Amino acid sequence: MGHAFEDCLMDVLVRYHRMDGYNTLCLPGTDHASIAVHTILDRQLKAEGKTRYDIGREKFLEKAWQWKEESGGTIVNQLKRMGLSADWSRERFTLDEGLSKAVRTAFVKLYEAGLIYRGNYLVNWCPASLSAVSDLEVESKEVDGHLWHFRYPLTDGSGSVEVATTRPETMLGDTGVAVNPNDKRYQKLIGKTVTLPIVGREIPIFGDELVDPEFGTGCVKVTPAHDPNDFEMGNRHNLPFINIMNKDGTLNGNAGIFAGQDRYIARTNVVKKLEEDGYLIKVEEYRHAVPYSDRGKVPVEPLLSTQWFVKIDPLSQKALKFLDEQNSPRFVPERWTKVYRDWLIKLKDWCISRQLWWGHQIPAWYVISETNNTITDHTPFIVADNETEALEKAQQKYGKNVKLEQDPDVLDTWFSSGLWPFSTLGWPENTEDFKTYYPTSTLVTGFDIIFFWVARMTMMAGYFTDQMPFQDVYIHGLVRDENGKKMSKSANNGIDPLILVSKYGTDALRYTLIKEVAGAGQDISLQYDRQTDESESVEASRNFANKLWNAARFVMMNLKGETPQTLGTPDLEQLELCDRWLLSRYYQVVKQTRQDIETYGLGEAAKGLYEFIWGDFCDWYIELVKSRLWQDIPSRKVAQQTLAYVLDGTLKLLHPFMPHITEEIWQTLTQTTDKFIALQCYPVVDETLINPELEVSFSQLFETIRTVRNLRAEADIKPGVKVSVILQSENEQERLILESGQDYIKDLGKVEKLTITSQLEKETEQVIAGVVGTIQALIPLSGVVDIASLQAKLEKKLSKIEAEVKALSGRLNNPGFVNKAPQEVVQSVRDTLAEAQKQAEILRERLQRLK
């Protein structure tokens, strides 16, 4: 559903800019997702009692490509079902030949520039996927655990020190104990040694300011091969690095009697042994953060491993320079700029090698000779674009009698994804696509991927193209479930968008997702009933589509075979008042919609169109012109022209949001099959036809008509019965507005006799009355309704208004509210009270007259 939401946002921008005359490209593609695919295939093989090593790399890759065809087809099918207006002839996949060439080129260039190196460092190791994962692929989770306190005896027999740890099994790899040099409790112990329980190894006590005196006992066991902080201290104090962990999460031979045990089984057994030997002091309940592999869904292990790294500082500094000097890229909303900048500053060197088979195999070949045929950390290697080139380089350097073996690891998926904005356009070649479309205009993405992807793309683009890859980064929120929770497979609260598409239609789902956007970067909550696959919000959008469909059908029925082209634009000299009003409202909506889309206010644009189409066009204008359409009078044609012109323009305004229904209606309206609304010009504003005063006048007319209709309903007056109406206002301007629109009031209010006056004469018959601002609307009731029943209704309404007056008066009599609330809030309450008091006064008058 998150992808569907993102697809919709992108497609609105794509369709809008194409209609607005831009040379627009939306290039679709998919990522090979190394770890995710490996996890799925390893699970399938495990069910067969096999591992990938049993079937070999070649057979495994065959399975991976089969999976890609199935999964990739599913993704593309959703994109098409959601109506993404992409150039499918340019569809790319991160493992296709063109992008693979770009990856090899980037790797070689970075290596030759000294920005890629091979080193032995502590990495995040995922025992589930049997691969290193980057810091960005690690999710920190708060879990309930324990803090174990152990006694390490001083070698000289003078006592012991107490250490605390959440991972007791790692003590088997301890090579030191650290204290803060300023901690007076332990200063005299610095330089002494302790004897490591179980193992019997003598290890030093040393001082290091990294130690937090407040954590645990202030005395820290140091395992340089299994903890990032310990790794740093191990390097500073020249400690041995002892790895006790196998790559599958079991303990190795360095763990002695615990070798072969799973890390968590070993944890239990190590604690038991320490307790038996008298070294366990106490165990505390402890809630702490544990790093989990985002893909493997298991806790990662810090593991000492030889991996390939990218020196990140030169790349991040260049991206920071673009940001600080050119505000490039520009983030929408702007608040995400700081998040992006902070992340670039904090980045460490990027571990780019993965111990997987599915992906871009690292373009490095180890040189094997007759005397050196075992690959170790010290085996020489050649980096090249291909094996032939690597062999030539190796022979020149090491002689003819050498053999090569390619590094079995693959590159981190984000390495190829980081090149996406320019590799998909033909880089490293200077293609026409690259020259035309790069740098791109807009990246649409969720805030949770800024670190994974956005920063990778800006750093790679800055280095390889000396430009930022996009002008704007439009950050959207997440689609959450009906309870506001993040959707995930593990929580089983995701929604398949295609289910809602099948039930309500693509346009309804698109419109719901876009309209629900309260603002850029804000999450949306999608109401959904999992028992029936029903969604009230999507159903409301389907109802909107039906409203538009029925209105369009009514318009076309009354055009008598004409089209917007044959009717021509409305004759401005012949326009009636309501025609001028509709054109003013239409151009206001054109202006606002353009402004909203240009500033990424897509949700506001969708809401504005909804209100205009449902309210102004369908509920009011069509009703206002019905009588003209059904009579053979001169004003019928201008009504037809206005209807056709505004419907044609409105369909174009709405097209980026609801492409399918607008295309269908537009082709029927224009009676064309060889043109598409998607390729028409987006409407432009005609400022000369915008008339704010007229719009205000019509708002007042509509409120008056609505009041008359409500009074008829309150009095139970039958729809076919025409009534007399008296409209009273002391304001001359209001009376002029009412007089100018009296035909509309009579037509839509079913009024036979309309009286507009400044003062009310003494009434001789009973009436029902309502208030529109300072306008009173009265309907004489004699011979029309049951007076006693009406009196009861008015008394109930008066009681409600009097309660409101009492509540508002109470607020204004409270000094705390009047003195502390903002002045505009206090004034608003005063205005509301004055209007309520006026309404109550008029209702009392009406009731008195009824009595």
Give residue-wise pLDDT tens across range 569-596: 999 999 999 999 999 999 999 999 999 9
Asked, for residue 475, whether it belongs to a domain, the answer is: no
Terminal alpha carbon distance of the chain = 61
Amino acid 794: pLDDT: 82
For residue 521, what pLDDT band results from cuts at 50, 70 and 90? low
Tell me how far apart the alpha carbons of residues 636 and 58 are, in angstroms, rounded to a whole number.
75
> What is the tens place of the pLDDT at every residue in 193-202?
999 999 999 9
Tell me how far apart the alpha carbons of residues 147 and 39 are, in angstroms, rounded to a whole number.
32
Percentage of the chain exceeding pLDDT 70: 98
Clarify whether residues 843 and 714 are in a common domain. Answer: yes
Who's near 797: CB < 8 A, 6+ residues apart? 843
Binding-site residues from annotation for ATP? 489
Amino acid of residue 534: E
Clarify whether residues 680 and 740 are in a common domain. Answer: no
The answer to whether residue 520 scores a pLDDT higher than 60 is: no
Clarify whether residues 587 and 662 are in a common domain. Answer: yes
Write the CATH number for 762. Answer: 1.10.287.380
Tell me how far apart the alpha carbons of residues 466 and 460 are, in angstroms, rounded to a whole number.
9
For residue 766, what pLDDT band results from cuts at 50, 70 and 90? confident
For residue 305, what pLDDT band results from cuts at 50, 70 and 90? confident
Asked, for residue 835, whether it belongs to a domain, the answer is: yes
- Per-residue tokens: 710: 């409500």
Who's near 829: CB < 8 A, 6+ residues apart? 808, 811, 812
Asked, for residue 386, whether it belongs to a domain, the answer is: no
Tell me how far apart the alpha carbons of residues 115 and 308 are, in angstroms, rounded to a whole number.
10
Percentage of the chain exceeding pLDDT 90: 65
Clarify whether residues 210 and 288 are in a common domain. Answer: yes
Clarify whether residues 194 and 295 are in a common domain. Answer: yes
- The CA R_g of the chain, rounded to the nearest whole Å, is 37
The answer to whether residue 850 scores a pLDDT higher than 80 is: no
Q: Where a domain ends, among 260, 283, 302?
A: 302
Amino acid 849: pLDDT: 59
Closest CA to 428 of 415, 419, 437: 419
- Per-residue tokens: 788: 């006693």
Clarify whether residues 699 and 758 are in a common domain. Answer: yes
Dihedral angle sign, alpha carbons of residues 327, 331, 335, 340: negative
Tell me how far apart the alpha carbons of residues 481 and 494 are, in angstroms, rounded to a whole number.
7
Asked, for residue 353, whether it belongs to a domain, the answer is: no
Closest CA to 291 of 159, 428, 133: 133
Clarify whether residues 714 and 762 are in a common domain. Answer: yes
Tell me how far apart the alpha carbons of residues 314 and 308 are, in angstroms, rounded to a whole number.
17
Dihedral angle sign, alpha carbons of residues 514, 518, 523, 526: negative
The answer to whether residue 771 scores a pLDDT higher than 90 is: no
Asked, for residue 642, whether it belongs to a domain, the answer is: yes
Closest CA to 524 of 484, 576, 571, 494: 484
Amino acid 489: pLDDT: 65
Q: Which domain holds residue 182?
A: 126-302
Clarify whether residues 717 and 680 are in a common domain. Answer: no
Closest CA to 310 of 415, 422, 407: 415
Write the CATH number for 239. Answer: 3.90.740.10
Tell me how far apart the alpha carbons of residues 506 and 82 are, in angstroms, rounded to a whole number.
6
Asked, for residue 473, whether it belongs to a domain, the answer is: no
Higher pLDDT, 157 or 786: 157
For residue 55, the SS3 value is helix
Average of pLDDT values for 80-93? 95
- Per-residue tokens: 300: 């990662």
Summary mean pLDDT of the chain: 91
The answer to whether residue 620 scores a pLDDT higher than 90 is: yes
Cis status of the peptide bond prior to 363, with omega within 30 of 0: no
> What is the tens place of the pLDDT at every residue in 451-493?
778 999 999 999 999 999 999 999 988 888 777 787 776 667 7
Average of pLDDT values for 23-52? 89
Residues in the chain: 851
For residue 789, the SS3 value is helix
> What is the tens place of the pLDDT at every residue in 317-329?
999 999 999 999 9
Helices (H), strands (E): how many in the chain? Answer: 28, 27
Contact of 587 with 685, CB cutoff 8 Å? yes
Asked, for residue 418, whether it belongs to a domain, the answer is: no
Tell me how far apart the alpha carbons of residues 230 and 240 are, in angstroms, rounded to a whole number.
11
Amino acid 477: pLDDT: 83
Average of pLDDT values for 389-416? 92
Asked, for residue 121, whether it belongs to a domain, the answer is: no
Clarify whether residues 741 and 636 are in a common domain. Answer: no
- The order of strands in the sheet holding 160-165 is 160-165, 138-153, 280-293
Tally the C-alpha atoms within 13 A of residue 653's C-alpha that lie toward its C-beta: 28
Q: Where a domain ends, among 271, 302, 333?
A: 302
Who's near 70: CB < 8 A, 6+ residues apart? none
Number of domains in the chain: 3
Amino acid 851: pLDDT: 64
Tell me how far apart the alpha carbons of residues 219 and 92 are, in angstroms, rounded to a whole number.
55
Q: Where a domain ends, among 302, 331, 347?
A: 302
Average of pLDDT values for 497-507? 94
The 8-class DSSP code of residue 299 comes to B
Cis status of the peptide bond prior to 333, with omega within 30 of 0: yes
Q: How far is CA 337 from the centre of its chain?
A: 16
Who's near 714: CB < 8 A, 6+ residues apart? 768, 790, 793
Tell me how far apart the alpha carbons of residues 400 and 411 are, in angstroms, rounded to a whole number.
29
Tell me how far apart the alpha carbons of residues 184 and 814 are, in angstroms, rounded to a whole number.
60
> What is the tens place of the pLDDT at every residue in 191-237?
999 999 999 999 999 999 999 888 778 999 999 999 988 998 998 99
Higher pLDDT, 518 or 806: 806
Write the CATH number for 579. Answer: 1.10.730.10
Helix (H) / strand (E) containing 697 = helix 692-714
Least confident of 246-260, 511-525, 684-698, 706-720: 511-525
| Among 39-53, 585-599, 704-718, the range of highest mean pLDDT | 585-599
**Other C-beta atoms lying within 10 Å of the C-beta of residue 94:** 24
Average of pLDDT values for 402-409? 92
For residue 715, what pLDDT band results from cuts at 50, 70 and 90? confident
> What is the tens place of the pLDDT at every residue in 735-754?
998 998 899 999 999 998 99
Amino acid 847: pLDDT: 78
Dihedral angle sign, alpha carbons of residues 513, 518, 520, 524: negative
Where does 631-680 have alpha helices with state H? 635-654, 659-670
Clarify whether residues 659 and 773 are in a common domain. Answer: no
Clarify whether residues 273 and 260 are in a common domain. Answer: yes
State the Cα angle at 389 between 383 and 390, rounded to 5°: 40
Binding-site residues from annotation? 489
Amino acid 519: pLDDT: 56
Clarify whether residues 711 and 759 are in a common domain. Answer: yes
Alpha carbon dihedral 821, 823, 828, 830, in 10-degree steps, equals 90
The answer to whether residue 820 scores a pLDDT higher than 60 is: yes
Give the Å distances, CA to CA, from 410 to 53, 95, 133, 171.
Answer: 16, 12, 12, 33
Where does 424-576 have alpha helices with state H? 432-437, 455-465, 497-504, 506-515, 536-558, 564-567
